[in-house]
């Protein structure tokens, strides 16, 4: 097998991995949503998701030699200036996303909120790749990458079209848009932390640390205003948000070096959209009817990823 074919296979496997990781996020959303509904407190559910992930990572990093070595390397890299300090606070973006889900999405509607986030992710992916913010260095802004990003936004908007309200306060769309852009920088920062520390454990730990601290503040404010959450029995699977998050963040930090931020983001979205359809049918939170738009949207996300994955040398060869 030639080196070119090996590169194509590696890229294909990485994209499949990104889709699988994105699928896990759909399952996490379902778990966190169920927990928040049962407790009647979205802030408590979000804090549980991040807090349980934080506890898991502290235990893993303490027990595993690679975790202890990675922590020492990360601290040394920060002190030497090799690793920018902003890369340690990616979890704040995740915390903002969870907070916005419960505060802004009711104003915009879930559909328009999702379109805003995906549009922001596409913009953030293009910018971070162009300026080499991630560990893989600069990646050119090619027509296939731009077209793939546009097709992805169209795909998500198509699938969400039935839930978009004409009376939604469009100005609030800037919030999920900015969060989506921030997610691109979060992925890039996670990749840098992984490279500097030599292990995916470190970006996962830093994300859960900063995210948990951010959400703890939000929970305490909500506690003071609205009182404690309900103490009720919950399904066991609704408690798995933190476990899924550990896999999501760790795997994304590994994949971003191979794919770049844009391709990773598009692969994650495709996996999330497709898995969401399956989850809604097998484990519905409410009555969901499968529509042509939903199926077509899922198929179009795959097309978007395929377009963006066209090799740069192929593009330059045409020009």
Whether the model clears a pTM of 0.75, i.e. scores above it, the answer is yes
- Euclidean distance between CA atoms 300 and 161, whole angstroms: 14
Percent of the chain as helix, strand, coil, to the nearest 5? 85, 0, 15
How does pLDDT run across 107-129, given as a tens digit for each residue? 777 667 788 888 999 999 999 99
Q: What is the pLDDT of residue 239?
A: 94
- Euclidean distance between CA atoms 268 and 21, whole angstroms: 6
Backbone angles phi, psi at 60, to 5 degrees: -60, -45
* Mean residue pLDDT across the chain: 87
Which whole number is the average pLDDT over 38-51? Answer: 90
Low-confidence winner among 21-30, 78-87, 99-108, 142-151 (lowest mean pLDDT): 99-108
Low-confidence winner among 29-33, 149-153, 231-235, 271-275 (lowest mean pLDDT): 29-33
Scan for tokens 């495709």, then name that residue. Answer: 270
Q: What is the pLDDT of residue 28?
A: 85
- Euclidean distance between CA atoms 191 and 185, whole angstroms: 10
How does pLDDT run across 194-205, given as a tens digit for each residue? 999 999 999 999
Q: Pick the residue with more confidence: 169 or 211?
A: 211
Name residues whose C-beta falls within 8 Å of residue 223's C-beta, 6 or more positions apart in sequence.
none
How does pLDDT run across 282-312, given as a tens digit for each residue? 766 555 567 788 889 889 999 999 999 887 6
Q: What is the pLDDT of residue 193?
A: 96
Q: What is the pLDDT of residue 286?
A: 55
Q: What is the 8-class DSSP label of residue 228?
A: P
- Euclidean distance between CA atoms 33 and 280, whole angstroms: 12
Residue 171 binned pLDDT confidence (cut-offs 50, 70, 90): confident
Q: Pick the residue with more confidence: 149 or 164?
A: 149
Residue 104 binned pLDDT confidence (cut-offs 50, 70, 90): confident
């Amino acid at each position: 097998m030639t080196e070119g074919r090996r590169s194509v296979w590696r890229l294909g496997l990485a994209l499949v991995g990104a889709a699988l990781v994105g699928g896990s996020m759909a399952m996490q959303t379902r778990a966190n949503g169920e927990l928040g509904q049962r407790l009647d407190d979205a802030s408590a559910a979000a804090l549980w998701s991040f807090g349980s992930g934080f506890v898991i990572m502290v235990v893993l990093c303490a027990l595993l030699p690679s975790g202890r070595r990675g922590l020492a390397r990360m601290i040394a890299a920060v002190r030497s200036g090799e690793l920018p300090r902003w890369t340690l606070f990616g979890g704040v973006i995740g915390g903002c996303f969870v907070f916005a889900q419960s505060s802004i999405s009711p104003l915009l509607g879930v559909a328009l909120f999702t379109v805003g986030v995906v549009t922001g992710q596409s913009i953030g992916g293009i910018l971070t790749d162009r300026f080499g913010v991630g560990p893989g260095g600069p990646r050119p802004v090619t027509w296939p990458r731009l077209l793939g990003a546009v097709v992805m936004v169209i795909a998500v908007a198509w699938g969400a079209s039935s839930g978009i309200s004409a009376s939604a306060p469009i100005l609030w769309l800037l919030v999920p848009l900015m969060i989506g852009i921030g997610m691109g920088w979060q992925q890039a920062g996670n990749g840098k932390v992984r490279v500097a520390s030599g292990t995916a454990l470190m970006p996962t730990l830093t994300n859960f640390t900063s995210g948990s601290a951010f959400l703890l503040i939000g929970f305490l404010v909500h506690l003071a205003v609205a009182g404690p959450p309900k103490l009720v029995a919950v399904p066991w699977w609704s408690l798995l948000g933190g476990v899924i998050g550990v896999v999501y963040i760790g795997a994304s930090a590994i994949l971003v070096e191979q794919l770049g931020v844009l391709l990773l983001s598009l692969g994650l979205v495709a996996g999330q959209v497709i898995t969401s359809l399956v989850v809604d049918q097998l484990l519905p939170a409410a009555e969901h009817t499968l529509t042509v738009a939903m199926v077509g949207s899922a198929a179009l996300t795959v097309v978007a990823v395929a377009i963006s994955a066209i090799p740069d040398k192929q593009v330059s060869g045409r020009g």
